[in-house]
Amino acid sequence: MPERMSRKRNWVLSFLLLVALLIGCGAFLAWYKFFREQPDGPFVSNDERFMYASIGGENAAGLPYWIFLVLPRMFPEYLPGPGGYASLGIAWEEGRELPVGFTKKVVGFPRVSNTCAVCHTASYRATPDATPVFVPAGPGHTANVQGFFRFLRDCAQDPRFNPDNLLEEIKRVTDLSLLDQLLYRFVIIPLTRKALQQRSFDWMEREDMAAWGHGRDDAMNLTKYFMLEMREDGTYGPTDFPSIWNLKKYQPERGMRMNWDGATYNARSVLIDSALGIVAEPQRDFLHHIDWLLDYLSNLPPPPYPFPIDQALAHAGEALFTAECARCHRSERTGKRVPLTEVGTDENRILSWSHAAARAANAKALELGVQRRGMIDDEPLNGYIAVHLDGVWLRAPYLHNGSVPTLRDLLKPAAERPQMFYRGYDLYDQAAMGFVSAGTVAERVGNLHDTRLRGNGNQGHEYGTGLSEEERQALIEYLKTL
Ligand code: HEC
Ligand code: HEC
């Protein structure tokens, strides 16, 4: 019967429409709650953008903001001391919601990720009571990145990391809607825990490997094991966070190379590889962030020495620099590799990278759809770069592994350099040029650097060590002007 049939058809149509509507709503809700992106910011200056703006790490590698916020309160015993994340020595400007180098962006829900600034922002203070000055693109010599990894790992392994406890703690700081509570309970918390547990950190916990400590990481092994998923090879190459200002000084066409061992041709490649380490999966605007960073870092001048300089003494020091240092640090050799057999510093960083790893990194970048000149697999990687010395006053502790606390110590024969000292305190020592590396505060906020341990050696680079005390003084004064 036509009437009944058409009624039936109407009914089927309505039903289908309802199903479609429900699916649509569900899809919209899922998109809204998990993928909707809100731009972060606004950022009033380039420096602020460098220190806090997202480069896209929240999507694939972000931590839910509320979980990030409550973890230090729930698990203070997994941090090196009181004070929450600040106990990890990460720079934290007063009045800021998050430390330097930490971003907050809504991708469905608020998430936290990192930027370059967590390792590449320096802090110093003139007196113990002064508020620290933060210098973007300076070496993050106070940041304990290994401590941060260990903290997340230990939290995720603790049975108290569960929806009941976390939601209880989150309730103290915010009112999540009922729907959000359900999402946190059944999706966000379990997935976060799983993601944190999936990463193996065993490779950085071997007994024959000293702690990275403040201001360093095992950079090439991080790349090999986290990004490239290569097999452990037993090497250990702890390396100091370098300054990354004034990148336009590098001229690849003149044979200059980047990274401590000259493993990379140019700044764009280094930036891309560094950013891939943070974001895991490049987003649509990935290269836009790279272009901005490249422009900002290329043109950012090194910070001038902020304390008084004795100009006459510095002038006398310049002649000594020309005689003792310029043949590497202001010549055709600058920015190029000096063989390890010549400079004689610790070899472990060099041993931690290889042509095979470079090829794997290049293949990985291509797989992720990023075109770049890439890492070097056709030159011997057998030395360290004779680094440019711009802004050298703020780059303590010195050498690629941060094994010499001050410039005064670097100008002594290796046997007379401190065998043990503390890294991570930001009180500046104007006489020695470096950070205070002994005493109760240095011990409390920092970590012991024992130069006898693998990767920590302070040998080699014995240049200018024959100078008299007056000459050394003059050379140090001159180095303040660079
Ligand atoms: C977890 C710490 C960490 C983060 C995050 C990080 N870097 Fe680095 N960066 C390092 C270390 C360590 C080195 C030295 C590696 C080596 O050669 O041993 C380095 C080297 C560099 C260099 C080479 C400097 C030179 O003079 O050769 C540049 C440039 C650089 N990073 C830029 C960046 C940028 C841009 C980002 C963000 C997209 C970033 N880094 C994120 C730790 C970090
Ligand atoms: C034969 C070449 C050569 C000479 C001469 C030389 N250097 Fe170096 N310098 C290097 C190399 C190579 C490195 C990197 C070594 C490393 O990190 O293991 C370096 C590193 C440094 C660093 C560490 C920079 C940092 O950011 O940690 C300082 C400071 C330095 N040199 C100052 C001097 C001074 C001052 C003189 C003169 C008294 C001098 N150098 C003479 C080759 C040289």
Q: Indicate if ligand 1 lies below 6 Å from the C-beta of 118.
A: yes
Measuring CA to CA, how many Å separate 380 from each of 30, 258, 343, 351, 431?
51, 14, 16, 12, 39
Closest CA to 120 of 55, 215, 53: 215
C-alpha 243 to ligand 2 mean position (Å): 15
Could you tell me the distance, in angstroms and rounded to a whole number, from the CA of residue 474 to the centre of ligand 1? 32
Residue 2: what pLDDT?
Answer: 61
Query: What does the pLDDT look like over 33-65, one tens digit per residue?
Result: 788 888 888 999 999 999 999 999 898 878 999
Question: What are the Cα distances from residue 82, in Å, to 79, 122, 202, 338?
Answer: 7, 22, 26, 43
Is ligand 1 within 6 A of the CB of residue 119? yes
Burial class for 148, CB neighbours closer than 10 Å (0-12, 13-18, 19+): middle
User: What was the pLDDT predicted at 86?
Assistant: 92
Separation of CA 400 and ligand 2 centre (Å):
10
Q: Is the peptide bond before 397 cis (omega within 30 degrees of 0)?
A: yes
219 Cβ closer than 6 Å to some ligand 1 atom = yes
pLDDT of residue 61: 78
| pLDDT of amino acid 39 | 87
Q: Is 395 in the pocket of ligand 2 (CB under 6 A)?
A: yes
Of 281, 306, 278, 303, nearest to 293 (Cα)?
278
223 C-alpha to ligand 1 centroid (Å): 11
450 vs 1: CA distance, rounded Å: 93
Task: Give residue 219 CA to ligand 1 midpoint distance, Å.
Answer: 8
Instruction: Verify whether ligand 1 is closer than 6 Å to residue 90 (CB atom).
Output: no
Residue recorded with tokens 């703006």: 53
Q: For residue 54, what pLDDT is reported?
A: 94
> Is any ligand 1 atom within 6 A of the Cβ of residue 217?
yes
Query: Could you give phi then psi for residue 5, rounded to 5 degrees?
Result: -60, -40
Sign of CA dihedral 221, 226, 227, 229: positive
Q: Provide the pLDDT for residue 36.
A: 85
Q: Which is the closest atom of ligand 1 to the Cα of 267? A: 29
- Please tell me the distance between residue 213's alpha carbon and the centre of ligand 2 in angstroms: 23
Q: Which residues of the chain have pLDDT under 70?
A: 1-3
- Ligand 2, atom 34, lies closest to the CA of 325
